[in-house]
C-alpha cells in the first residue's frame, strides 16, 4: 500500500490540563518532527503549546502518549503481532473516539470495525466527514453524538409512563 505525504499543519493541543505533561512526554520520547514551514523553527514550545506534526515509535501501552487523547498532530506507532492483539490493546483504553485502519484486506477491516469499541472507524482514509454520519465516541470520549439523526437525541428527554389498568387486554 502506498502512503502519500499529506498537508502539514501546526496544531495546538486541546487538553490544557495535559499540555505540560504531554509536552514533556512527547519531547522526552524523541519525536521525529515532520518538516514544517521555515517560519516555525522549533519542534516544540511550551509557551504557545504548539507542536509540529511528528511521530513517535517504540511506544508502549503504559506510556502517556499511548493512553491519552492528545488531539494534536502526534502519531504514536505501536507494534503488534496479530489482529486479536490490536483489538485487545485498542479496547483496553478509557477512550474510544475514533480509529483508523489501513489495510488491503477487506476481511481484516470488517473484523476490526466490528470489534473496536469506538464511535467512528475510518478504513483506508482519515478525518473524512459527512453531515449525515453520526460522530462521537464511546466510553470517556465525546459527549454523545453529533451530526446525523442521532444528534437530535441529545436534545430529547425520554419518559416512560406506567399506568395500572383494570382488565388489561393481555390478561
> From first to last of its 171 residues, what are the pLDDT tens digits of the chain?
565 665 555 555 555 555 555 555 555 555 544 443 333 334 554 444 555 667 777 788 887 778 877 776 777 788 899 999 999 999 998 988 899 999 999 999 999 999 999 999 999 998 888 878 888 888 888 777 777 777 777 777 777 877 777 877 776
| Domain range 80-171, CATH architecture | 3-Layer(aba) Sandwich (3.40)
Is the fold of 1-78 the same as that of 80-171?
yes
Q: What does the pLDDT read at residue 90? A: 93
Q: What does the pLDDT read at residue 52? A: 62
Fold assignment, 1-78: Aldehyde Dehydrogenase; Chain A, domain 2 (3.40.309)
Give the residue among 131, 167, 126 at the shortest CA–CA distance from 152.
Answer: 131
For cell 469499541, name the residue: 117
Question: Which 3 state secondary structure label does DSSP give 79?
Answer: coil
Q: What does the pLDDT read at residue 2? A: 63
Domain boundaries, the chain: 1-78, 80-171
Q: What does the pLDDT read at residue 171? A: 67
Question: Which 3 state secondary structure label does DSSP give 167?
Answer: coil
Q: What does the pLDDT read at residue 36? A: 38
Is the torsion defined by CA of 70, 101, 30, 61 positive or negative? positive
Give the pairing of strands 98-101 and 120-123: parallel
Bridge partners of residue 74, in order along the sequence: 54
Q: What does the pLDDT read at residue 34? A: 44
Amino acid at each position: 500500500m502506498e502512503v502519500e505525504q499529506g498537508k502539514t499543519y501546526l496544531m495546538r493541543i486541546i487538553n490544557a490540563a495535559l499540555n505540560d505533561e504531554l509536552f514533556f512526554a512527547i519531547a522526552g520520547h524523541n519525536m521525529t518532527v515532520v518538516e514544517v514551514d521555515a517560519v516555525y523553527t522549533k519542534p516544540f514550545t511550551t509557551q504557545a503549546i504548539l507542536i509540529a506534526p511528528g511521530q513517535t515509535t517504540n511506544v508502549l501501552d503504559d506510556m502517556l502518549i499511548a493512553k491519552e487523547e492528545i488531539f494534536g498532530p502526534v502519531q504514536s506507532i505501536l507494534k503488534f503481532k496479530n489482529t486479536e492483539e490490536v483489538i485487545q490493546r485498542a479496547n483496553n483504553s478509557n477512550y474510544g473516539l475514533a480509529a483508523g485502519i489501513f489495510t488491503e484486506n477487506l476481511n481484516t477491516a470488517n473484523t476490526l470495525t466490528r470489534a473496536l469499541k469506538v464511535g467512528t472507524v475510518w478504513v483506508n482514509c482519515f478525518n473524512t466527514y459527512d453531515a449525515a454520519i453520526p460522530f462521537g465516541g464511546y466510553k470517556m470520549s465525546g459527549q454523545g453524538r453529533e451530526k446525523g439523526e442521532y444528534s437530535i437525541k441529545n436534545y430529547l428527554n425520554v419518559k416512560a409512563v406506567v399506568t395500572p389498568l383494570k382488565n388489561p387486554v393481555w390478561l
